Amino acid sequence: MIDMATPGDYRIHADVKFGFGQLIDVPQIVKACKDKWFNQTLCEVNECVVRLGIVEGEFHWHTHDDEDEFFFVLDGKLIIDLDGETVALGPQQGYTVARGTRHRTRAKEKTMMLMVEKSTVVPTGDNV
């Protein structure tokens, strides 16, 4: 059974941590993280952001009305539940959730992923 995280348990940092020309050391960030559900915006690329997610447990069901969301697993296993379908991603695998699609992510074990999305996306979703 996967523990359900609640919105108060999420550590979501929407501030851009790294500017242009700065080294981004993902293993160092992962090593320093003590939270079960952590999300940090790493950098901006054009009108999009790259976020690092370090997750264990379940996120809530939600949608993004105007933005697509791309997930790319670095380590671990990410499960993406969609209405009527479940997608399991392992290391070096990615998946794009289309705007307006109700979904949730979950991980039975500590999983590290990158997310690429428009900078306007609300990580917790527009509609819960």
**pLDDT (tens digit, 0 to 9) for every residue of the chain, 128 residues total?**
444 445 557 788 888 999 999 999 999 999 999 988 899 999 999 999 999 999 999 998 999 999 999 999 999 999 999 999 999 999 999 999 999 999 999 999 999 999 999 988 877 776 65
Q: What is the pTM of this model?
A: 0.88
Question: Three-state SS for 14?
Answer: coil
Task: Identify the CA nearest to 111 among candidates 85, 91, 93.
Answer: 91
Domains, the chain, with CATH or none: 7-118 (2.60.120.10)
Q: Up-side HSE of residue 85: CA atoms within 13 Å toward CB?
A: 8
